[in-house]
Structure 1
Amino acid sequence: MRTWGPLTAVSLGTFMLLLDVSIVIVALPDMARALDASLSDLQWVIDGYALALAALLLGVGAAADVLGRRRLNVLGTALFAVASLACGLASDAQLLVAARAVQGLGAAAMLATTLPLLGAAYQGRARSTALGVWGAVSGASAALGPVVGGLLTQGPGWRWIFFVNLPVSVVSIALTLRVVPESKAPAGRRVDWAGTAAFACFAGAGTYGVLRGGAQGWASAATGASFALSALALLCFVLVERRVAQPLLDLRLLRKPAFVGVLIGAVGYNGAAFGVVPYLSLWLQTVLGMSPVRGSLVLLPLAVTSFVVALLAGRLLHGAPPRVVIGVGLLLIGAGGLSMAVLDAGSSWAALAPGLTVTGVGAGLVAPGLAGAALAAVPPANAGMAGGAVNTFRQLGYAVGVALFGTVLTSRMEDSLGRSAAHTAAGGGASALHDTVSEHAVRAAFASGLNGASLAAGAAGLVAGALVLVLVRTPRRPEGTGSARPSDRPAADAVSSPPIDAARTAS
């Protein structure tokens, strides 16, 4: 226990927080029925968690350096558990969304501290082994998320996808307090709270604007105000980061095309690969009539293929240029999205299998290479910042993808069903429309909406892949210049596995 206890404790928390990115996907139809939730509510159930995780990750990581990484990890796990209980007990959609946001705050504290804790607990070969096991656990959460969510939803009920976090959190906290040593950054580190608040406002307001644009129209006052607030917050973030002594993100790094390319790849990866998956789950269950378990199994090719390819790519593509591996992976993700845009009123789940598999191959190529590419693009002193930025932009890409592709879905459905019926069907209420709209019309409209969303995701993947191939051209470092290695700079390897990071499907 003394040898592998810290790895067990850290990996347990990581598995739990990444599982919660994807575990809710299969439960969305049941949530909609139980809580009378709208499409916008369901989108926020996903995005509330992902946005909190993305917006607060860098700031919480800096706070952990000052206050103690083990202490903040334990506090984050406890907050995650309390929020999970609140999610399971939620009596309406608004309470569930609020609890999911708090859950995301706890997850940010957990994820930001996992790799620094492992780096402090292990050295040399043991550290490399620990990081490898951590990466495998992260990938396993992607494969198991939809299945666990389907089993719990179809069995004791959707609320148990949150209740199951309680005993796991207790075990994780107990192990962490017992076997994980405390660690801090050198004295003098300060937390950029102003930058954290500005970035959180920028991400939240921008995503809200996309969601309101789809629900109320892009010319509505609420949509315009949201985008204006987001732009103002971004300006404030830039001004703060230029003046603060210890910024969350050194803006000088954005002058490096390679680093900008990696961030574009991170956004495109999670957005294009996983942003449409929630709507596929709704289609499978509410239109095709599948059970939660069967619906989850349909999504497995994405997660399992991603996991297997990531393991093989780490061995077989060692030394390959990161821009080629990541760029080709994103192009495959784009191709997978385009190949899923073939649905019609008579389509079955089998029409998704080829596209999900191709997307999984691409995701398996991209995920392992992002951290290394970020490291190679920045000076070694910025390794931890680069790793945290990649994680942040991955989760931000997922949140924006869910919002944006949902807007595309409903806009296509409105052409044949009208606004009210389209939002009802997209929000899981397809069966409620059969008294006024034929089943064939609903199936045709939903298929058309999914085709539009898949085309948008495919295009995003292709554009991101092309930009990575153009921008990420890493110069060779002369030997002996102190290039960062995973065994020396564990914080930079903090790349959460895909929501269905799981399906990720959702880190």
Structure 2
Amino acid sequence: MSSSAPTETNTTNRYVKYRWWGLLAISLGVALIIMDSTIVSVAIPSIVDDLGISSTEIQWVQEIYTLLFAALLLTWGRLADRAGRRRIMLIGVVIFVAASVLCAVADSGAVLITGRALQGLGGSMILPTTLALLNANFHGRERGIAFAVWGSTIGGMAAIGPLAGGWLTENASWRWAFGINVPVGILIVAGLLLFVAESSEAVSGAVQRLDIGGALLSIVGFGSLVFGLIEGRNYGWWAAEDEAPFDIGGISPVPFAFLLAVVALTAFVFLERARSNAGKGVILDLSLFRISSFANGNITALIVSFGEFGLILSLPLWFQNVLGYTAFEAGLALVPLAAGSFLASGAVAGLARKLTPVVVVRIGLGLEIVAIASLALLIRPDSTAWLTSPVLFVYGMGVGLATAQLTSVVLADVPVERSGQGSATQSTARQTGSALGIAVLGTAFFTTLKVGTENRLADAVAENPMVQSLVDSVNASSGGSIASLAADPQTAFVADAARAAMTDGTSLAGWIAAAALVIGLISSLRIRSQADSHEPTKARAEYPESDEE
């Protein structure tokens, strides 16, 4: 026993000494899942050409990942508290990398969809554990810096992903969009084992019983909710569209998915409350919502995610279909967003000495609102990157400040032993918000494209009904046919109308996103965190570096 004590002490000291290297490994874990989701969207055209998969398979290649990812976050967050956060993250990384290999060698749509589903499973294990590990291993002012790096990684990778995907697809193969995850995954595993201390919740007997019912209800509830939000535009929000796999009396599957979500999540809340009152283990401890910063912070995070993802949805399409950029050039045009986001992470250290995290969040949201509103106001079909670059840089700085520090605020007063639950809840709120944002902003964007193009060409269609087929091609391809229409002088007028309509759609999506962020900023005024009253010196006294775990 005595001989092992020095070894354990040395190991603990190593984790403390090299905790910033551990932060790098944790941030790479976030980068892995964020970058992969954006890379795939760019690689889809090449995948279609190579594998010849159907439109339905294309849809599920993109959406099965998001569906499983969002549905499983709460369950894995809770299991990580029990089994060990680093352990669950390691397992998640291994599953994600193995799934990436399966995607890279896929020879059919079915194999690719299976790989994407497994990626969603692995990703749902990675994201909440990254937050929980930061919450457990960083304290005081350092904690704000760590979360700043984490948040800037999300913002930066959301922009760099399309760039990497475009370059790999054009210069190598779409398969490398998945294959690149292998070396990154190896670095993450090595970094976690060498530089990140394990942390878990110490509980006894009865409390250790797994809340299987709560896990199943949360999976069904959040899975159904995200499914409805994702598929509403394709299957129909009420009346069934042609793409719907089935209908009941002409009603789309989407309303039934929402109904199932309401029933399952209501039952989930009642079950968790009953188990908690009985002293049994739960997937989500509802008493966490008695913490003001946690409850109000999650509401703000959901609203902010709604607004933030609107820009990432519409801009790449606008760059490619309106300005005529290649996939790589469109990714390059988003680099200022990443640059602003990473720069903001460096500014947090200085801001943390003078301002509370909540104030930093509000500054970030203010920058985002100004940037998105400016873009919505100024963009034209003949705009260039000289207009978008400075706006995206400011937007990136806002994301870097707001996203990271909002996460820090949400978890600031959550006990470390429940950080897995808290992190998973925060991640679920963000995923739900982003899914809602994609649903609403995507509907506004594509509806404006459709209606705007039809209205501009109404007279041409009246004179020549054959023009309607060209209009339909624009809508069916989500603007992808604009380039070919522009190349033919006889159909260039259709391309011009579609470009103007898509620009209007991008502008409308921007205004809606800006409005959502304004609501998020107002919501942030309700956040009151006990951590805000902690002076940096006090925080360092409570968590001296030699005692950090």
Q: What TM-score results when the alignment is normalised by the length of structure 2? A: 0.75
> d(CA) in 1 for partners of 2:56 and 2:286?
34
1:235 aligns to 2:266 (yes or no): yes
1:441, distance to aligned residue in structure 2 (A): 1.9
Which residue in 2 is equivalent to 1:472? 527
| Structure 1 match to 2:499 | 443
Q: Following TM superposition, by how much is the alpha carbon of 1:389 offset from its aligned partner in structure 2, in angstroms? A: 2.2
Give ranges in structure 1 of 5+ residues lacking alignment: 491-507
Q: Does 1:76 align with 2:128?
A: no
Corresponding residue number in structure 2 for 1:398: 434
Give the AA of the match of 1:443: R
Alpha-carbon distance, 1:308 to partner = 0.8
Aligned-pair distance for 1:366? 0.7
* 1:193 lines up with 2:212 in the alignment: yes
Q: How does 1:99-178 map to 2 (within 5 A)?
A: 99-114=115-130, 131=146, 135=150, 138=153, 141=157, 144-173=160-189
Letter of the 2:452 partner, please give it.
S
Query: SS in structure 1 opposite 2:40?
Result: coil
Query: What are the equivalent positions in structure 2 for 1:82-101 lying under 5 Å apart?
Result: 82-90=98-106, 96-101=112-117
Give the residue type in structure 2 aligned to 1:236.
Answer: A
Matches within 5 A, 1:254-403: 254-255=289-290, 257-341=292-376, 342-376=378-412, 382-403=418-439
In structure 1, what residue type is equivalent to 2:72?
Answer: L
Assess, with a 3 A threshold, how the Cα gap between structure 1 residues 431 and 257 changes in structure 2: closer, same or farther: same
CA contact (8 A) 2:371 2:392 kept: yes
Measured against aligned partners, the alpha-carbon deviations of 1:117-175 in whole angstroms (never above 9, x if no partner) come to 6788x7999x9799589749836645643432232122102221101112333454466
Contact 1:335 1:462 in 2 (8 A): no
Deviation at 1:305, TM superposition (A): 0.6
- Indicate yes or no: 2:255 matched with 1:224: yes
Deviation, structure 1 residue 24: 3.2
Cα distance 1:100–1:238, how it changes in 2: closer, same or farther (>3 A)? same
Bigger relative contact order, structure 1 or 2, given CA contacts below 8 A and separation 6+?
1
Aligned partner of residue 478 in structure 2, secondary structure: helix
1:265·1:326 contact (CA, 8 Å) conserved in 2?
Answer: no
Give how far 1:486 is off. 12
Correspondence for 1:211: 230
Instruction: Write the distance in 2 (CA, Å) between the matches of 1:56 and 1:62.
Output: 10
- State the TM-score, normalized to the length of structure 1: 0.80
Aligned-pair CA distance for 1:89: 3.7
Question: Is the 1:214–1:410 Cα contact (8 Å) retained in structure 2?
Answer: no
Pairing 1:57-72 to 2, within 5 Å after superposition:
57-72=73-88
Q: 1:424 matched to which residue of 2?
A: 476
Can you list the C-alpha shifts for 1:448-498, whole angstroms capped at 9, x where unaligned?
A: 2212222221111111111112x2133578889xx98899699xxxxxxxx
SS at match of 1:24: helix
Conserved? CA contact 2:148–2:345, under 8 Å: no
Q: Distance in 1 between matches of 2:501 and 2:307?
A: 22
From 395, 407, 428, give the equivalent of 2:443. Answer: 407
Give the SS at the match of 2:184: helix
AA partner of residue 196 (structure 1) = A
Q: Would the aligned equivalents of 1:67 and 1:184 in 2 still touch at CA under 8 Å?
A: yes
Distance 1:298 1:312, change over 3 A: same
C-alpha displacement of 1:396: 2.9
For residues 415 and 132 of structure 2, what CA distance do their matches in structure 1 show?
19
CA distance in 2, matches of 1:420, 1:187: 60
Conserved 8 A contact 1:29-1:282: no
Deviations 1:284-325 (A, max 9, x none): 224432122221111112221122123203322435244433
Distance 2:163 2:95 in 1: 25
Q: CA deviation at 1:359?
A: 1.9
Residue 114 of structure 1 deviates from its aligned partner by: 4.1
Displacement of 1:75 after TM fit? 2.5
Offset at residue 102 of structure 1 (A): 2.0
Partner of 1:493: none
- Residues 85 and 129 of structure 1, relative CA distance in 2, 3 Å threshold: same
Contact between 1:146 and 1:300, CA under 8 Å: does it hold in 2? no
Structure 2 unaligned residues grouped into runs of 5+: 1-9, 240-250, 455-470
Q: Is the 8 A contact 1:15 1:137 kept in 2?
A: no
Asked if 1 retains the 8 angstrom alpha-carbon contact of 2:479 and 2:498, the reply is: no
Of 516, 531, 534, the match for 1:460: 516
Instruction: Give, in angstroms, the shift of residue 80 of structure 1.
Output: 0.6
Task: Give the whole-Å Cα distance in 1 for the aligned partners of 2:135 and 2:528.
Answer: 29
Q: Is the 8 A contact 1:383 1:484 kept in 2?
A: no
Report the Cα distance in structure 1 between the residues aligned to 2:172 and 2:259, rounded to whole angstroms: 44
* Counterpart-to-counterpart distance in 1, 2:541 and 2:513: 32
Number of aligned residues: 486
For residue 412 of structure 1, report the CA deviation from its aligned partner. Answer: 1.0
**Which residue is 2:463 aligned to?**
none
Q: Distance in 1 between matches of 2:265 and 2:168?
A: 40
Q: Closer, same or farther in 2 for the Cα pair 1:155/1:255, shift >3 Å?
A: same
Task: Give distance in 1, aligned partners of 2:484 and 2:42.
Answer: 20
Q: Report if aligned partners of 2:230, 2:435 keep a CA contact under 8 Å in 1.
A: no
* Alignment partner, residue 505 of structure 1: none
User: Does structure 1 retain, via aligned residues, the 8 Å contact 2:152–2:404?
Assistant: no
SS in structure 2 of the partner of residue 198 of structure 1: helix
2:333, 2:385 within 8 Å by CA — same for their partners in 1?
yes
CA shift digits 1:183-208 (9 cap, x unpaired) = 54324334433333323323332232
Query: What is the match of residue 460 of structure 2?
Result: none
Tell me if structure 1 keeps the 8 A contact 2:368–2:395. yes
- Aligned-pair identity in percent equals 33
Residues 475 and 74 of structure 1: CA distance in aligned 2, closer, same or farther (over 3 Å): closer
Q: Supply the AA of the counterpart residue of 1:394.
A: R
Conserved 8 A contact 1:60-1:108: yes
